[in-house]
Structure 1
Amino acid sequence: MPDFTRRGFLAASLASGAALRLPQIASAPATRRVLTLVYDKSLGAMRAVEKVVAR
């Protein structure tokens, strides 16, 4: 096991995490989030509604 400093260990951990996540991000379809404010009569207040829309 190599001798890691705290900074080296964090850098290696982040690099390995990025290598695992990068293929998932690259293969994900392009999406957009649309946030709309609507008035909810039952609550008597405004409510945020979020939709995920494919581009």
Structure 2
Amino acid sequence: MPHLTRRGFIGTALAAGTARAVPTVASKAATRRILTLVYDKSLGMMRAVEKIVPLR
């Protein structure tokens, strides 16, 4: 597994999230994606947890 810094991980996560969200923005505007970065002790690095919340 490659060694990523926090800055590199955040950049990678944002790029991946943007690439996934762009095609769906036009069709699904009634949800909000919440991206949280957490430290996973078992992996020894940060990981992204994405939660999709419907808008009211």
Q: TM-score category by the smaller chain? A: 0.3 to 0.5
Of the two, which has the highest radius of gyration? 1
Greater share of helix? 1
Q: TM-score, normalised to structure 2's length?
A: 0.46
